[in-house]
Structure 1
Amino acid sequence: MQFEGVLRKMKTEIGDPIQYYLLFETDFLNVNQVLGKKLQISFLKYQCLNCGLERPIFRQGFCRTCFFDIPAAGDWIMHPELSTAHLGKEDRDLEYEKKMQLQPHIVYLANSSNVKVGVTRKSQVPTRWIDQGAHEAIEIVEVPNRYLAGITEVALKEHIADKTNWRKMLTNDVDDEDLVSWRDKLRSYIPEEAAPYFIQNNKETELHFPVLHYPKKVKSLNLEKTPEYKGELTGIKGQYLLFEDNTVFNVRGSEGYYVALTLS
């Protein structure tokens, strides 16, 4: 059986375990059903997620031209504290930025490899936590726009990490943490503008990933260097496919790559 198309980050569905789907233009694959089977990945060409042209991918699935032009790749995506739509100031496209920035956002704690702080739109909970490979997470504040979430994250990351160690996450070298205690401990560092939005009485969310066994030491598959790979799929965590030979493949990091997937 073969599937062909441009890679985008896997869609997920909360469950025990989480369900993963690769969506292509005319077909889709429930990746959970491939666990324990051989999967061949063949890199055929590039295809920018915005313009659709066969151009080398620069970042986030976009070619260089699109990355520096389209509103979906503005600096405020990675740095929410740079959001300006609440002031009526345009970065690249004010209408788009109002739509994305002027909606409820969550500042959260997630434990993937360590406890970290992060920001996401409320509509992306728990998807964002799943994409980061977090086995537990909790909301800290819910604010009405992206800017308030961004300045809260900036303040909190002075006292807690804001990055995930992806190697530890993929080898499952993690400890359970009391995220309620972490939430309460960090409360005093929330900026004054966001303090009224603190969430006081909530519990951790636990997430369970479809993994038969974890790699002991990961080696990352780069399709530009290795355009064809075949291995037995043994797990899915975050946006990574895990294989029996310790190879791991970052689907989201390969967005914009047009591939053929062959099952056997």
Structure 2
Amino acid sequence: MEATGIAVKMPVRIESGQVAYEMRLEDPRSGVGTSPAAVRTLPISTFLGKPLRLEHRGEYACVRCGTALKKVFGEGFCYPCFRNAPEAAECIVKPELCEAHLGRGRDVQWEEDHHNQPHAVYFARSSALKVGVTRLTQVPVRWIDQGASWAVVIARVPYRQLAGRIEVAMKALYTDRTAWQRMLKDETPADPVDLAVELQRVRELLADCEPELTEYLVQPGQAEPLTISYPVIAPPEKVKSVNLAKTPLVESILQGIRGQYLIFEGGAVLNVRRHSGFRLRISVLGG
């Protein structure tokens, strides 16, 4: 089995209690993301234990407009899209700066459709307990993309900027980062999270600095944690990130997938999302 195309973030779903992944490869000559005929998907989580070959021949294309490139910016954009597209705006990583609720943004309609929508503030456990923000319709996809083993919505707000304000306040007590090496090695702390205690800590914190936002917090009895299982044969003892721009060929046995990482025998790991816009050839050897 073999497929060639421009890599984008892997689509995910939960199937029979475990995350199932697809490798999505797009053909910009037909318009990236616009035509079903321009997309090839591989059920990559079914390839565990099989030897894979991933090859990059120095070709790129913008994941938004499809322009052929010599290099990509951000997560797979040409420079004009990186500079102007709403998907690359500062409020993607700093939601507290979002102005969608004011009718402003790089693309007002895109902001209305994506950011002036109900959002969740959540706890997730991938390495340490962390805080995060996502659109409600992206639960649990966002948690899976971060490799969380456990996650729960702790606040629901009507638009993105409010979620960002809660997250900023919570950074006084919690990280907003995932230690990806620890996550892939499955070094999540074993002790359970006392959700009632943590929610009370958050409530007291907001009461001091953002009292009007406490109304959006869920009650302990309304918080429904989700435990997430990933297709991993065995966590690696050590991990080494692979950059296909520098090492254009990976040929190894697929040992697992977690977050947006492919985990290979020996601990080599490839962040698929960070390779958005790369033209790849993927082969299942002997298959």
Instruction: Give every structure 1 segment of 4 or more consecutive aligned residues whose post-TM-superposition deviation is greater than 6 Å.
Output: none
Paired position in structure 1 for 2:51: 38
| Structure 2 SS opposite 1:137 | strand
Q: Which sits farther off after the overlay, 171-180 or 11-20?
A: 171-180
Paired position in structure 2 for 1:193: 212
Paired position in structure 2 for 1:22: 23
| Structure 1 SS opposite 2:200 | helix
Query: What runs of 5+ residues in structure 1 fail to find an aligned partner?
Result: none
Indicate whether 1:230 and 2:251 are aligned: yes
User: Alpha-carbon deviation of 1:179?
Assistant: 5.1
Give the residue type in structure 2 aligned to 1:21: E
| Structure 2 SS opposite 1:194 | helix
Retained in 2: the 8 A contact 1:81–1:151? yes
Give the residue type in structure 1 aligned to 2:53: Q
Q: Which sits farther off after the overlay, 38-47 or 170-179?
A: 170-179
User: Alpha-carbon deviation of 1:87?
Assistant: 2.0
| Structure 2 SS opposite 1:196 | helix
| Structure 2 SS opposite 1:52 | coil
User: Alpha-carbon deviation of 1:138?
Assistant: 1.0
Q: Percent identity of the aligned residues?
A: 40
Paired position in structure 1 for 2:98: 83
Structural mapping, 1:87-98, within 5 Å: 87-88=102-103, 90-98=104-112
TM-score, L = length of structure 2: 0.89
Indicate whether 1:125 and 2:126 are aligned: no
| Structure 2 SS opposite 1:164 | coil
Paired position in structure 1 for 2:198: 182
User: Alpha-carbon deviation of 1:98?
Assistant: 1.8
Total equivalences in the alignment: 263
- Separation in 1 of the partners of 2:276 and 2:102? 32
Task: Give the alignment partner of residue 61 of structure 1, picking from 52, 73, 76.
Answer: 76
- Separation in 2 of the partners of 1:13 and 1:105? 20
- Separation in 2 of the partners of 1:27 and 1:98? 30
Measured on the aligned residues, the alpha-carbon RMSD in Å equals: 1.2
Structure 1 residues 179 and 4, CA, compared in 2 at 3 Å: closer, same or farther? farther
TM-score, L = length of structure 1: 0.96
Give the residue type in structure 1 aligned to 2:121: V
Give the residue type in structure 2 aligned to 1:8: V
Query: What runs of 5+ residues in structure 2 fail to find an aligned partner?
Result: 26-37
Q: Which sits farther off after the overlay, 103-112 or 202-211?
A: 202-211
| Structure 2 SS opposite 1:68 | helix
- Separation in 2 of the partners of 1:218 and 1:161? 22
Indicate whether 1:164 and 2:178 are aligned: yes
User: Alpha-carbon deviation of 1:257?
Assistant: 0.5
| Structure 1 SS opposite 2:106 | coil
| Structure 2 SS opposite 1:134 | coil
Paired position in structure 1 for 2:9: 9
Retained in 2: the 8 A contact 1:39–1:233? yes
User: Alpha-carbon deviation of 1:182?
Assistant: 2.1
Cα deviation, 1:61-103, whole Å, max 9, x if unaligned, reads 1122210011221111111000112123x23122221221111
